[in-house]
Structures are given as C-alpha cells and as structure tokens.
Amino acid sequence: DLSGEEIDGYFYEEEITLVNKNIENEAHEIEQVLKTRGK
C-alpha cells in the first residue's frame, strides 16, 4: 500500500489502480459502515 505495508490477498491486475495521494495529511470521511464486530 502507500504506507509500505504488505496487502494480503489475491488481486487481478485489472482491479489495481495506482494513485498519487498524500494520505498522511488528508482527512477521509466514512461513507458507510459495512460490517461491525463485537468486542
């Protein structure tokens, strides 16, 4: 990923897109919570 961490899983090359963003200084709004887990 952009932070240098390895991403687990299998991906088709067509599904991956390179983006140039500075994610450390940018706020992100959560659009929708898909699933939650209990504590």
What pLDDT shows up at residue 37? 84
Convert the pLDDT of each residue in 1-39 to its tens digit: 767 888 888 888 787 887 777 767 777 788 898 888 877
What pLDDT shows up at residue 19? 76
Q: Domain map of the chain by residue range?
A: 1-39
Alpha-carbon radius of gyration of the chain: 14
Calpha distance 18→8 (Å, rounded): 17
